[in-house]
Amino acid sequence: MTVFFMEVFGDRSGPELFGDYMRLQDQGNEIVQEGMMTGGRDVFAWMADSNKVPTGWMAYVYSLDEG
């Protein structure tokens, strides 16, 4: 998972954000839970139709930065 976070958020921010994610997940954070559900729905849709690229989770995460 750390490697995935590094790919998405870069070598500097990825490990730190992964640590934050794990901490918030352990706390049952509602925003993290919703992001996980968004990602899960994306993966299942992609598995059913490989033309549906799973980008919902990243869009959800990046939209949090806009607020």
Question: Does pLDDT of 4 surpass 70?
Answer: yes
- State the Cα angle at 57 between 56 and 62, rounded to 5°: 100
* pLDDT attached to residue 56: 76
Please give the model's pTM, rounded to 2 decimal places: 0.62
Q: What is the rounded radius of gyration, in angstroms, for the C-alpha atoms of the chain?
A: 13
- What is the length of the chain? 67
In this predicted model, what pLDDT tens digit does every residue of 23-43 receive, in sequence order? 999 999 998 898 888 888 888
* pLDDT attached to residue 40: 86
User: How many Cβ atoms are within 10 Å of 33's Cβ, its own excluded?
Assistant: 12
Question: Does pLDDT of 67 surpass 90?
Answer: no
